[in-house]
Amino acid sequence: MADFDAQFRMQPRDFVAGLDFYTWTRHFHVLHDLLAREQGDVLEVGTGDGVLRRCVAPFVRSYRVMDINPALQPDIVANLLDPQPSLAASADAVVCTEVLEHLPFDDLPRALAQLRSFVRPGGRLYLTLPHRKAHVLVVTPRQRLWPLRFPVGLLSLSEAWNRFVRRRIWIDPHHCWEIGDGRVRRRDVEHRLATAGWQVLVFRPLPYCDSWILVAGQPSPA
């Protein structure tokens, strides 16, 4: 529990030092999506390494960050699960990449409803969540990225040991859950997205994560 809680006290340098190729690949796609679609007010929930903000902020009307960790110097220090009336309908787009898996899965509906409350009518959510599958990333001669996915345990001896011998799928110890962890499926997440009023505009599988662009619509029956 102490190790899990320690992530909420990390310093900016810790995040930047921990950048890996998978994270850069995720940034690459989200950055291109944001610059192609957004010019207005952007709210990022969970600042992390701050790469997206530094790249996108010069090209939009405003870019604010909300985070629970004051050491990361966000514009708004707040817990996503707490009501934020001052942020209601304040953004044209919300960015939330690799954040929601740090909350219990039972809290996902409340978190998604909060994100929905932050955007104006027709606003968009740029969301990524980790997907626990084996990944291979192929770069073509024209520099296109083709992520290939395989069942857990086929490409890694350690994952094979965990899945087939220990009978459990390993996930990041800082995460409460991941898609494909043996309990949570992508359709479980997308059901909760629809229930919270998010409609899928674009879905893209990336190395180690699923990526969505969602548009605010009407909540569906639970």
Instruction: Find the CATH number of the domain harbouring 41.
Output: 3.40.50.150
Query: Is residue 118 in some structural domain?
Result: yes
Q: Above pLDDT 90, what percent of the chain? A: 67
Residues 57, 162: one domain?
no
Q: How many domains does the chain have?
A: 2
CA distances, 68 to each of 75, 77, 79, 92, 127 (Å): 11, 5, 5, 22, 18
Residues 127, 138: one domain?
no
In this predicted model, what pLDDT tens digit does every residue of 23-38 receive, in sequence order? 999 999 999 999 999 9
Query: Is residue 52 in some structural domain?
Result: yes
Residues 81, 28: one domain?
yes
Q: Which of 61, 66, 59 is nearest to 31 (CA)?
A: 59
Residues 69, 147: one domain?
no
Indicate the pairing of strand 41-45 with strand 209-216. Answer: unpaired
Q: Could you tell me the residue range of the domain that residue 147 belongs to?
A: 134-170
Q: Above pLDDT 70, what percent of the chain? A: 97
Q: What is the pTM of this model?
A: 0.92
Q: What is the pLDDT of residue 163?
A: 85
Residues 141, 162: one domain?
yes
Q: What is the pLDDT of residue 186?
A: 96
Query: Is residue 46 in some structural domain?
Result: yes
Residues 156, 183: one domain?
no
Q: What is the pLDDT of residue 51?
A: 94
Compute the mean pLDDT over every residue in the chain, rounded to the nearest whole number: 91
Residues 197, 90: one domain?
yes
Residues 61, 151: one domain?
no
Read off the pLDDT band of 2 (50, 70, 90). Answer: low
Read off the pLDDT band of 135 (50, 70, 90). Answer: confident
Q: What is the pLDDT of residue 221?
A: 67
Q: Judge whether residue 133 has pLDDT over 90.
A: no
The total of other beta-carbon atoms located within 10 Å of residue 93's CB is 26
Query: Is residue 56 in some structural domain?
Result: yes
Q: What is the pLDDT of residue 3?
A: 66
Residues 84, 162: one domain?
no
Query: Is residue 221 in some structural domain?
Result: no
Query: Is residue 222 in some structural domain?
Result: no
Read off the pLDDT band of 104 (50, 70, 90). Answer: very high
Summarize the confidence of residues 173-195 as an average pLDDT. 96
Residues 42, 146: one domain?
no
Residues 93, 162: one domain?
no
Read off the pLDDT band of 1 (50, 70, 90). Answer: low
Query: Is residue 126 in some structural domain?
Result: yes
Q: Judge whether residue 165 has pLDDT over 70.
A: yes
Q: Judge whether residue 125 has pLDDT over 90.
A: yes
Q: Judge whether residue 22 has pLDDT over 90.
A: no
Residues 123, 146: one domain?
no
